[in-house]
Structure formats: structure tokens, C-alpha cells
Structure 1
Amino acid sequence: MGPLIEITTVPIEIEMKTTNAHLVYSRGTAEVEISRDKGGLNIKSRPIKLNVDSFQAQSSIRPTTAQSVKQAAQAGKQAAYQATATYAKRGQLVMDAKLGQELITHFAQETQDAHLGRSLDEFGLGFLPEGGIDLDWEPGQMQIRYEMDKLNFDWKTGGQGFEFVPGDIEFSVTQRPEVIIKYVGGALYVPPSADPNYEPVDVRA
């Protein structure tokens, strides 16, 4: 009679993965920021500037207050000189007077002739300017300034170097160990006499 039980043993299966240590070269990163400065067109214009000085021309027709005071002072001084000369002349005539001369009529005639001989300028009146007008001018200017837009580039670069990767060992179980017990015999009957192939044992033999 053969064995009734078959035992099968399944061994464990282990997978091992190893990674060697190595260096990784890092190239780094690079970034750029671009900004724009806007330009523009600037035009500055100044027209011709004309300077007109008519002080001398106006003063010859209508003198200013300071000039009038100065002219009056000079005229008064001149009148005093003339009056002094006239009185001296008249005194000399009186001293040398002869009988029959009418000095009063002579003095009156001289006074009338003097008043009639005065010009309008002696009274401070004028109709045509005696001085000219000074003209001075500055040339015009035009300035044109144009600036183009400007681009600014700001580069930012990362560092470069090596990165060390350490070694590694990885174990993984692909098959767990087990024991398989298999019964390979026939059927068991209880009691044994229930077996159709049962043959009783002769105890007398």
C-alpha cells in the first residue's frame, strides 16, 4: 500500500535590487526679466523776440518828469544869465544916456523882439521826434528731442554643481514559503464495513 499523503514544500523567493552610488551633474537654471522704458518726442519752440526801445524818441516829444526838471533847471540858469546880461547892458546904456534918447521905448522894443524870437522848443513843445528807435531782436529757436524705447534685460542664473546620490539595496519577496499537504489515498469509511470493497478479516486464521 502506497503513501496516503503527499507533502509539497514551496521555497521563498526573494528579489534583490541594488543601486550604485553616483554623482548627478546639475546644470542650474536661467531666468530673464524684460522691462521697457518708454521714450518719446519732445519739441520746444521759442519764436523770434523783438526788443523795441523808443525812450529817446518819446523823450524828445514828451520828456519825462526827471528830464523836465533837468531842462527847467538849465532853462532857469540860462534865463538868469540872460537877465543878468540884459540888466548889465541896460545899466550901461543908462550910464551913457544922452539927452533926447528915449531909453524906455528902446527897452520895450528889445523885450518884444526877444519874445517874438523864441522858438517852440523853448516852451517844451515838439512835433517830430529827434531821437531814433532802437530795435534789437533775438533769433528763434526750436529744439527737437527724440528718445527710443529702451529694453532692460535682467538675467538670473542658478548655481551649477554635482549632487551625490547614495547607493541603495532593495529586497522584495516575490513568493512566500509554504507547505502543501495533499491526501492522495482513497476514501475512508466509518465504520470500515461501510466500504463496498470491505473484506472482513478472519480472526480465526
Structure 2
Amino acid sequence: MQLLQITVKPAKYELEIENARLEQKHDYIPTAEVEREPLKLRIDTEQTSVRIDTYEARKSLGIMNAGDQLRMHAERGRDAAMQQMRANVEEGAQMAQIEDGVTIGQIINQKMLEQPSSVTVFLPSTGAEISWDPGQIDMSFNAGKLEYQWNKMENSMQYIPGSVRVKIIERPTVEIEYLGGPMYIPPSADPEYEEKEAGQL
């Protein structure tokens, strides 16, 4: 006779399994760094310059610097000395002809009757000297530029390992049930004990 009934309830659990995977990232849109240099236009202008030199014209009017005045007076003094020497020579030659009937009075009268020579001069005798430098325009043009520095496209890969998770829903149990009655020691303690007669099994 089976006196014990054993009931076993296994544990209940759930498995959550996440597979390993490999993630790959792609840069589908290229990127670039742009450096821009704007265009430039540079214009350098030099104005026309005119130089007017009126010194020679003023010099003909007697307006001159100190150096030219000294040279002019020196030349005039030399010319006057030469003329006086020439006149003295001529007078000496005339006086040497007295024996030919020429008197000193006639020589003096001849000198007094001599008329100075006249010359028509237009002043100023020369015009102004004009010199000029034409104007100038220098242009320099820089068209500018654009520079692109493309960034290299890269593919990045990431490995994600798998995982297993165990979720215990119900713990295991063991139930033991006694199917028999109580055991009395000695047996005569059992209220339902009946003493057996001799010869009975």
C-alpha cells in the first residue's frame, strides 16, 4: 500500500534570447569644406603732371638767379673793356694821322656825331618750356577661387554580442502527501485497535 504521494511541480521560466548582430553605418551624403576667396579689382591711377619752366623767359627780362647775374655782369664788363680798348686803338690811329691834316677837334667832333646803334628786341625773347608726363592707370584683377576639400566617406561597423536572459516565473515545488493513517506506538494506543485472538493471523 502506497502511503506517500509525491507531487513535483517543475520551475517555470522564460528565455529571452537576443541574437548577436553586426551594425554597419554608411555616410551616403558626402561632405566638403569650402574655402572661398572673393574676386578683387585694384586700380592705381597716376595723374597727368605738367611742368612749366619760365626761367629762360624771365632771364631774358633780366630776372635771373645770382649765378647768372654774376656771369652776365662779367660778360658785360669784358665786352665793355674790349670795346673801350678798340675805341682807344681807333682814336690812337686817328691821332697818328694829324700830319695828314686831321686835327684833334675833328676827331672829337666825329666821336660826338656818332649815333649809337639800336636793335629791336622782343621781350621776353623766349617762351616758357613746357614738359608733361601722361597719366597712367594700372589695373590688376584677381578672379577669386573656390577650393573644396572633400571629407572621406567612411563605413563604421559595430559588433553587438548576443545575450540570453532567464526569467523565473514560478519556482519548482515538491509536495509530499501522506495517504495512510496515523501510526500508534504501541499499536494498542490506536482507538480502533482490536486485539487479535490467538490463532488468528
**TM-score bin (small chain):** 0.5 to 0.7
Instruction: Tell me the equivalent position of 2:149.
Output: 154
Instruction: Tell me the equivalent position of 2:116.
Output: 117
> Deviation digits for residues 44-87 of structure 1, max 9, x if unmatched?
33332212122221211123322222222222222222212211
Q: 1:138 aligns with which of 101, 126, 133?
A: 133
Q: Given that residues 10 and 178 in structure 1 are in contact (C-alpha distance below 8 angstroms), is that contact kept between their aligned partners in structure 2?
A: yes
Give the Å deviation of 1:34.
2.5
Give the Å deviation of 1:131.
1.1
CA-based RMSD of the aligned residues comes to 4.7
What is the aligned-residue identity percentage?
16
Aligned residue for 2:130, secondary structure, equals strand
> Deviation digits for residues 26-54 of structure 1, max 9, x if unmatched?
86896532333344443333332212122
Q: Given that residues 7 and 179 in structure 1 are in contact (C-alpha distance below 8 angstroms), is that contact kept between their aligned partners in structure 2?
A: no
1:192-203, aligned counterparts within 5 Å? 200-203=192-195
Q: Aligned equivalents of 2:152 and 2:113: distance in 1?
A: 111
Q: Aligned equivalents of 2:95 and 2:125: distance in 1?
A: 43
Q: 1:132 to 1:169 in 2, by over 3 A?
A: closer
Aligned residue for 1:51, secondary structure, equals strand
Instruction: Tell me the equivalent position of 1:181.
Output: 174
Instruction: Tell me the equivalent position of 1:194.
Output: none
Q: Given that residues 60 and 130 in structure 1 are in contact (C-alpha distance below 8 angstroms), is that contact kept between their aligned partners in structure 2?
A: yes
TM-score, normalised to structure 1, is: 0.61
TM-score, normalised to structure 2, is: 0.61
Instruction: Tell me the equivalent position of 2:52.
Output: 52
- State the AA in 2 paired with 1:155: W
Q: Given that residues 18 and 169 in structure 1 are in contact (C-alpha distance below 8 angstroms), is that contact kept between their aligned partners in structure 2?
A: yes
Give the length in aligned residue pairs: 189
> Deviation digits for residues 118-158 of structure 1, max 9, x if unmatched?
6599xxxx872111222222222334445455433333426
Q: Aligned equivalents of 1:47 and 1:130: distance in 2?
A: 32
Q: Given that residues 47 and 140 in structure 1 are in contact (C-alpha distance below 8 angstroms), is that contact kept between their aligned partners in structure 2?
A: yes
Q: Aligned equivalents of 2:163 and 2:192: distance in 1?
A: 64
Q: Aligned equivalents of 1:45 and 1:10: distance in 2?
A: 104
Aligned residue for 1:157, secondary structure, equals coil
Unaligned 5+ segments in structure 2 are 185-189
